Amino acid sequence: MNTLKKISFPFLSLFLLYRSIELTRSLTLSKPNEYSNIEALLISFLLTLFITGIFAFIGFAYSSSKILPDRYYEIKNPRVLNYTSKVLGIKYFRVLVLFFFWGKKNNQKKYFNGTKKGLHNFIYQTKQSEFGHLGALLLILVLTIYLLAHKYYFLTLIITLINILGNLYPIILQRTHRIRIAKITKHNTI
């Protein structure tokens, strides 16, 4: 199965990249007022889903987090991060993610099985997830600037909101996980 992932998932990422480019191209060949609010919501959702999927599928098959240096993943100011998490309500976001996506025991055990080795796997998974969401966050940010230049104001607003919830919140959540893990392991950076 692992070999199948390493072969097929990059193709899925390329397919999503292609679909993202095609959808963006079709937007730039039309005018913003051609789309209803419902269509704009659907397009916004699809674009953010496609772009996030590009990075997700690569991360499911390869150690994409290793592209960034280890120092990126170090939490330099845990107090600021904890404060930001509190202000943004990351603990509520975490509950929603657990309820809707990771609540099943089998899903949870893939990331942490209760052992020391499982803790190291969990740290690895937080980095993988963070990298995938960071790549998507930045690419979507570039896309929104491009769409703003084409006067897609409502679409850009919706994409930005989805990007914040779908990519920025998970990045902050992964970083707060590593703060909690550091307290357990008595290390400042993991």
pLDDT band at 190 (very low <50, low <70, confident <90, very high): very low
Closest CA to 136 of 71, 52, 53, 79: 52
Q: Calculate mean pLDDT across residues 162-185.
A: 90
Q: Which domain holds residue 137?
A: 2-185
Question: Whole-number mean pLDDT of the chain?
Answer: 89
Domain membership flag for residue 106: yes
Span 111-125, pLDDT tens digits? 666 666 778 888 888
190 falls within a domain: no
**CA dist., res. 174 & res. 123, Å (int):** 9
With a cut of 50, say whether residue 44 has pLDDT above it: yes
User: Closest Cα partner for 142 from 51, 10, 76, 68?
Assistant: 51
| Residues with Cβ within 8 Å of residue 55, at least 6 apart in sequence | 13, 64, 131, 132, 133, 135, 136, 139
* Any domain includes 56: yes
Residue 188: which pLDDT band, with cuts at 50, 70 and 90? Answer: very low
Enumerate residues 6+ apart whose C-beta is below 8 A from 54.
13, 16, 17, 20, 135, 136, 139
pLDDT tens digit sequence for 45-89: 999 999 999 999 999 999 999 999 999 999 989 999 999 999 999
Read off the pLDDT of each residue in 156-179 and give the average, rounded to a whole number.
Answer: 95
Structural domains of the chain, count: 1
Q: Which amino acid is at 70?
A: D
